Amino acid sequence: MIKTALVLRGDQGSDLLHFLKQCPELELVALACPDGVIDWITDSERKKYFITADLDKIIALSDLDAVIDGTGEPEVGDYLKQRINKKVKYEQLIPGSVLHAIFSSREKLSETRLLKGELLAILNSVQDAVEVVDAKGLVKYVNPAFSRVTGIPEQKRINRSIFDVSPHGALAQALIQQKPVTGYRTYVGGSAADVISNASPIVVDGEIMGAVVVFQPVGDILKLMDELKHSNTIIDNLYAQIDQISGFRCSFEMLVGQSRIFCATVEKARKVARSESSLLISGESGTGKSLFARAIHSGSSRNKRPLIVFDCSSVPDSLQEIELFGCEKGAMPGILRTRLGKLELAEGSTLFVKEINSLNPFLQKKLLKVLEQHSFVRIGGEQEIPTDVRIIASAGENLLDASYKGYFSEELYRKLSLVSIDLPPLRKRQDDIPLLAENLMVGLNRKLGRSVNEISARAMQELMAYEWPGNISELKSALERAMIEADGSIIEYHHLLPYIGRLGLHDLSSFEEILPLEKIEEKMLKLALTRYGENLEGKKKAAQALNISLATLYNKLKKYSS
């Protein structure tokens, strides 16, 4: 054994020390670190070796056979060569030296062994069968899946010629043709396994060193195809169900109106439907924003998938993110399985974001990212999910003003409003009221089980003179209430009187009958609630319009409902 002292720098010490410890010819007795960096040395190594930062102490050691200088520093080498005993062999670990060559070879060999071990671990764990041959066609490796698929033990395949055991297989063909062979169906030689194979030559520095094949049983592939077909059927059925529950389909032909302003709006919507751009539909409440969104979707190339609707105004702020982006299993309390959001459900289709002005500011930024990057992340997730969704948004207020006031993201507004449609209010298309009323009454007759199919001239005059702050929604509500009160098949003026806000108090001669004050008060209450809505906010506005307190409004409603 050659008693050896090792001189090195601390930044390279661990690897060099590990290498020398594996050399059976050497007995390492001392370590010297001239730079004083010895914190990398373990406690067991401190007990085993003499360790110092002083080169003179190494030189003074007795019974020393060799000193190996691994610092690569000329001054250290000169100092050692001048002072060590001439009987002590000095070896400098510099590029080109024998020791450096041995060290480099051992290091590369170690890396190669590690890589080989990792590769074998991977191949042994994959479920596909793998077979490898050398350049002469001798089988050098098969993984466990090979024996499982073919029933051939490893020992009966290794060192056999592939040209003897499976001459017509993909592996032999890849070696003969010296090019990849893909999607090759055959029986594995020596077995009854019917497989689909992909084989390729192994090329190193331009020379073919062998070939490798990966294959699966045809039965597994057919099973996967059946499962995929079954999954696609389930998905198609789910989309059909979503289509049923997401509301009726609406085409442009179903949009009712013949006024010039309305026809121009419909024509613009037809052109927009043919594009893939995001879209903003604006308009007062009740102007038909949802109908236009559905018609645009139906007229687009995405109409084979259902329109997915996300109504921001009906979902609390705390739930909007889950509803829109989905949530990973366990990411939030009560989420026991991965929940898909509206964005995922709308993949390949259209997402209609109603009342986008009610979307909370944080989600406005996230939606902007979706529009820009075409991807999103579920709550609790890390993986970006690519998405192919067209966004149609609607707003009942001026989003530009809202963005200037800081209530809405200016960036999101500009992204959505590159293409926009502004729906005209009913008061600007009064010529359409007779046609709208006729169409609405058809549906209302089915709903109510009535056969009211005519509106008197006086009643129609009032309908066309009214300004309709609630637009088509208010028109439909007024007609429904009037049809309930109508005795025959005709809606008369007095049937509409309480519901369209034109009681004619400016012209008492227009009254056809005298009503008790309580009756007028009751009708006024109904009118106010019809106009402003029966939720809390609507009742507050109704009380303000009637010039009474909210408490008085509730008392009067209680009085007339009893």
Residue 117 lies in a domain: no
Least confident of 171-180, 246-255, 257-266: 246-255
More confident residue, 15 or 542: 542
Residue 524 lies in a domain: yes
Residues 90 and 140 in one domain: no
Mean pLDDT throughout 262-268?
95
Q: Considering 55, 72, 104, which residue would you say is the last residue of a domain?
A: 104
CATH number of the domain bearing residue 84:
3.40.50.720
Residue 378 lies in a domain: yes
Task: Give the number of other Cβ atoms within 10 Å of residue 538's Cβ.
Answer: 15
Residues 494 and 374 in one domain: no
Residue 226 lies in a domain: no
Q: Which long-range contacts (CB under 8 A, 24 or more apart) does 372-378 make?
A: 372/415, 376/325, 376/343, 377/325, 378/325, 378/326, 378/327, 378/328, 378/331, 378/338, 378/341
Would you state the pLDDT for residue 57?
84
Which band of pLDDT confidence, cut at 50, 70 and 90, is reported for residue 96? very low
CA-to-CA dists, residue 528 to 74, 417, 473, 533, 557, angstroms: 99, 34, 15, 8, 12
Q: Tell me the pairing of strands 308-311 and 350-354.
A: parallel
Residues 415 and 440 in one domain: no
Task: Give the number of other Cβ atoms within 10 Å of residue 481's Cβ.
Answer: 17
More confident residue, 239 or 85: 85
State the chain's mean pLDDT as an integer: 82
Please compute Rg for the chain using Cα positions: 42
Q: Which domain holds residue 96?
A: 2-104
Helix (H, G, I), strand (E, B) or coil at 6: strand
Residues 130 and 192 in one domain: yes
More confident residue, 548 or 350: 350
Residues 6 and 48 in one domain: yes
Q: Considering 422, 447, 470, which residue would you say is the last residue of a domain?
A: 422
Check pLDDT > 80 for residue 221. no
The string of pLDDT tens digits covering residues 158-175 is: 999 999 988 888 889 988
Residue 130 lies in a domain: yes
Check pLDDT > 90 for residue 129. no
Residue 225 lies in a domain: no
Q: Considering 53, 74, 104, which residue would you say is the last residue of a domain?
A: 104
CA-to-CA dists, residue 287 to 67, 100, 469, angstroms: 94, 85, 10
- The DSSP line for 167-191 is TTSHHHHHHHHTS-EEEEEEEPTTS
208, 135 Cβ separation under 8 angstroms: yes
Residue 283 falls in which region: left (phi positive, over 0), alpha (psi -120 to 50) or beta: left
Residues 403 and 257 in one domain: yes
- The rounded distance, in Å, linking the Cα atoms of 119 and 94 is 33
Mean pLDDT throughout 363-377?
94
Residues 130 and 10 in one domain: no
Check pLDDT > 60 for residue 245. no
Residue 272 lies in a domain: yes
Check pLDDT > 60 for residue 76. yes
Check pLDDT > 70 for residue 118. no
Paired tokens of 494: 């007095």
Is the pTM higher than 0.75? The answer reads: no
Residue 121 lies in a domain: no
Which band of pLDDT confidence, cut at 50, 70 and 90, is reported for residue 113? low
Q: What is the DSSP letter of 379?
A: B
Residues 368 and 398 in one domain: yes
Structural domain count, the chain: 4
Report the percent of the chain where pLDDT is more than 90. 29
Mean pLDDT throughout 295-320?
91
Which band of pLDDT confidence, cut at 50, 70 and 90, is reported for residue 348? very high
Residues 444 and 551 in one domain: yes
Mean pLDDT throughout 220-232?
57
Residues 268 and 349 in one domain: yes
